Amino acid sequence: MVALMDGLGIFIGFLLLPEQTHHSKGVAPLSNKAPFGAPLADKAFDNDGLLTVLDARGTTHPPG
């Protein structure tokens, strides 16, 4: 499961993923539901595919 929270920790939504699916696969479809400028995530979400999606949305993130 991947959960989306706002900057105050208020729940926005979630996505259930099939077993053995990396959580980063759920971020792009879930993040389309809410505008944001900078993601806050675990280091496990630092991958080229996800960063490409976030870059296309105009978000900022630390260099990986």
pLDDT digits (tens, 9 = 90+) for 33-44: 677 777 777 666
- pLDDT means per 10 residues, the chain with 64 residues, are 84 84 74 72 73 81 65
Query: Encoding tokens for residue 4?
Result: 């989306």
**Parallel, antiparallel, or unpaired for β 2-5 and 11-15?**
antiparallel
Q: Where are the alpha helices (DSSP H) in 1-64?
A: 27-31, 48-56
How many angstroms separate the CA atoms of 14 and 3, rounded?
Answer: 4
Other Cβ atoms within 10 Å of 62 Cβ, number: 6
Q: Cβ(28)–Cβ(13) under 8 Å?
A: no
